[in-house]
Amino acid sequence: QDPGYAPQPFYWVAQTEVQARLAAKWRACWLLAFRDITNATNERTAIFSLLPRTGVGHKAPLVFLSRTYGVQLSACFLANANSLVFDYTTRQKLGGTSLSYFVLKQLPVPPPDTFTSSQVHCISPRVLELVYTAWDIKPFADDLWREADGALKERLRQQWEENRAATGGHPWEPPEWAEIAADGTPLPPFRWDAERRAVLRAELDAPYARLYGLTRKQLRYILDPHGLSDRELEDILDPWEDPTCAGPHLLPAQPTQDFPGETFRVLKEKETAKYGEYPHPPPGAGGLGAAGGGAGSRGGAELPGDGGGGARAGAGRHP
């Protein structure tokens, strides 16, 4: 819970070398990296994260997003890359223990023009709370604040106030090493709270399932195919759902058939052991609006007016 805490590197590289390597590719004071070493059987396969502007090794490959798209769409890309649907597609492509660039470029990602301003205003504040939990990520929060219009700035403030009301928040006490920009965000880091983070991620998982054009049944299949009946599995593209299986919690309490495969086994075992249910939190935990008959996720939320949307192959539209 110390927002001023930072890990101590074991290996060091001269700052001039880092800046020289990044100068031609990236101007921001933060980086977007993903974990190279992974596995299709892990709790999560695709793990993307923001980092301070620092040197990284080849096992933390970097994604350089086009300056054309701006910080708000960078937040949308980060949320997309950490969504359950994207993770599921990554598992289908991964044949070993390395998520290489050539694999990443094959994965389907909604293009930037998919997102409306209202969708961006719903996604960005949630992403900010998930990533801005320490002072070393303030440069990203600053860039997002500078790019935001009045409405988004108010939404960012509201997100921080909601976090403070639920967790107590952090005071404005930046460490000596933190660079405080005059035009940057006036908000200190968000306080880390595991339960809030679970709900926020659920509130992002559901709308991204809709952006990929998934039906509710297809999302249930991604969460756990054992929760679908044999008749439902006969045609996964048919949106029809068995009323005895598709209850308000997306998945039944007990498996309905012995499906010869698994999706998120480790995640399922972890949440079942900790919360006594999977998925957790159940739909209706709050969010951007009730999912209704469309695709829901762990939080049962959707983006306003997303209309379903499709996804195009090729992550190369973003870098």
Number of H helices, E strands in the chain: 11, 4
Report which residue type is found at 189.
Answer: P
What is the amino acid identity at position 153? K
What pLDDT shows up at residue 170? 98
Which residues are registered as beta bridge partners of 212? none
Kindly report the backbone phi and psi dihedral angles of residue 164, in degrees, each rounded to the nearest multiple of 5, phi listed first: -65, -40
CA distances from 44 to 23, 35, 47, 189, 266 (A): 32, 11, 7, 25, 8
Handedness of CA 60, 199, 276, 193 (dihedral sign): positive
Among 179, 177, 173, smallest CA distance to 142 is for 179
How far, rounded to the nearest angstrom, does the alpha carbon of residue 317 sit from its chain's CA centroid?
18
Indicate if the alpha-carbon torsion angle 279, 300, 89, 198 is positive or negative.
negative
Q: How far is CA 28 from the centre of its chain?
A: 20
Domain boundaries of the chain, sorted by first residue: 216-317
Q: What is the pLDDT of residues 22-53, one digit of tens each?
A: 998 999 999 999 999 999 999 999 999 999 99
The pLDDT assigned to 286 comes to 43
Block residue for tokens 């593209």: 237
Structure tokens at 308: 């379903």
CA-based nearest residue to 131, from 172, 208, 65, 71: 71
CB burial of 44-65 (b: ≥16 within 10 Å; e: otherwise) equals: ebbbbbbeebebeeeebbebeb
C-alpha span between 208 and 212 (Å, rounded): 6
What pLDDT sits at residue 316?
32
Using 70 as the pLDDT threshold, list the residues of the chain that sit under it: 246-263, 265, 280-319
Are 226 and 199 a contacting pair, CB within 8 Å? no
